[in-house]
Chain A
Amino acid sequence: MKVLVFVVALMAVALADEECDTLTRLKVKAQWIEAYSHGAARHAFAQAIWRAMFKLSPDSLDLFKRVHASKEADHPEFIAHANRVLAGLDISISLLDQPEALKAELEHLQDQHKERHIPDEYYENFGKALLHVLPAQLGRCWDKEAWSHCYDFIVHGIRGH
């Protein structure tokens, strides 16, 4: 049984890896640079994602008490946190075409998230929020499938399963 689970898990990884393939990664990377933006626009981008996230999973606010999270996501300390999260995502996405370095970064993020016991649902909802704000920021030039596959790949690396 354990072997079967392992095989299925391995297949899932292989599948996620395959769907987020080299060209897809390059596409996501390029679109991310455009969406991630800079200055005040970057704060707003982060805020929009977190507001959507907290509407999807209001309970997840408890996890971010230390950084003064609220539904409005507008406390300066939370904005700082939100930007830090995006910075982590930025590193991961930027390294999508350097598998070794990406592996190291995802392992680092995995360590940071391990003790927090974050439900899978939160990762999924963060992805949902991200995939709604991205097209608003990018307009026409974005590929939902590409993003969906590569987000799953990154989250898989952070969750470690």
Chain B
Amino acid sequence: AVTTIDTQPPPRYSSSSSIIMWYLLLLVGLASAAITDPKSRRTEYHVKSQNLHLDEILEELRELEEEFDERDLEEDTKEVRMLEARISNLEAEHDPDHDHAHCEEHEAECGGDVPECVSELLFCDGVDDCNHGEDEDDDRCDPEIVHVGSSFSGIATWGACENFHPHSAVVTITAAEQNEYYPSFVRVKGILSFEEDEHTHKIKTFQLRGLYSFARHELKMGPDHGEKGHYGVKCDFNLGDNDHADCHIVLSDSRDECAHFRADRY
């Protein structure tokens, strides 16, 4: 490249050094422009083509991902948990070695790998009673289910007590108190309401109070003090999470079932 400069004819006005210098500078400038141009273009070309390759690969990858998404292989952990809960409910009901569930009355299953039953009076009281402390497990002792304002509703199907078509029934928690010195149960107040007529939307409402058992994940409520209503509610949160329950509207005295509804939290 340097030879380009040398091939230029020598300056005619050697007397004026500043002009020569400017002339030289101009030449160098032109020369350098002439030299770098093709090289940088080549580099530019390489970079561009590499980028295009990358774009192509990304496009292919995107297409692959799209194809993968269409297959919907993603495992819904919530669904799996609910399935497991349903299976374990059936296992408890149909234990071949026992006529009934594995645990005695007033007892609940610890839920560890080794089957173990402990009195429901001793769950979530700060003392480990199950061999591996499952009775004090944070998940089990989470009072989230009965947070004030929680509302569980579903379509109630009446088998007795009232001559209603299937209509909405709602259980709403209006107060919850977990006692410091006896925390195994939460004392709750709530409202049960159900539609009498789907056209007029006339609603019957009952004030209830009762207990939520951490051991059984079970909410049992009956008429509040001085209430005339004779209905109670029993909800089992045995469907794998805190948002779904199997609820029954019962006669509060005999606990005979009047209606049943699969409740979802809203």
Contact = CB atoms under 8 A, between A and B. Distances in A.
Interface of A: 37, 39-41, 43-45, 47-48, 51-52, 55-56, 71-72, 74, 128-129, 132-133, 135-137, 139-140
B182 A139 contact: no
Contacts of B184: 48, 136
Contacts of B182: 48, 52, 55, 129, 132-133, 136
Contact of A56 (B119, B181, B220, B222): B181
Nearest to A128: B181
B232 A136 contact: no
A47 B122 contact: yes
B125 A41 contact: no
Contacts of A74: 127
A135 B213 CA distance: 11
B128 to A, nearest CB: 9
B121 A45 contact: yes
Nearest to A132: B182
B211 interface: yes
B210 interface: yes
B45 to A, nearest CB: 80
Interface in B191-213: 210-211, 213
Interface residues of B, number: 25
A51 B255 CA distance: 31
Interface stretch (B69-77, B99-107, B168-176): B99-107
Nearest to B185: A136
15 contacts: A41-B119, A44-B106, A44-B121, A44-B122, A47-B121, A48-B119, A51-B127, A52-B182, A55-B180, A133-B182, A136-B182, A136-B213, A139-B211, A140-B232, A140-B255
Contacts of A137: 106, 121
Interface of B: 104-107, 118-122, 125, 127, 179-182, 184-185, 210-211, 213, 220, 222, 232, 252, 255
A48 B220 contact: no
A40 B107 CA distance: 10
A132 to B, nearest CB: 4
A27 B185 CA distance: 24
A55 B181 contact: yes
Contacts of B118: 44
Contacts of B107: 40-41
B254 to A, nearest CB: 10
Contacts of B106: 37, 41, 44, 137
A159 B242 CA distance: 47
Contacts of A47: 119, 121-122
A129 B181 CA distance: 8
A50 B105 CA distance: 21
Given A37-B106, A41-B104, A136 B121 contact: yes
Contacts of A41: 104-107, 119
B255 to A, nearest CB: 8
B127 A133 contact: no
A48 B127 contact: no
Nearest to B223: A140
Given A51-B125, A55-B181, A136-B185, 18 more contacts: A39-B104, A40-B119, A41-B104, A41-B105, A41-B106, A41-B119, A44-B118, A48-B125, A48-B182, A51-B127, A52-B181, A74-B127, A129-B181, A133-B182, A136-B121, A136-B184, A137-B106, A140-B210
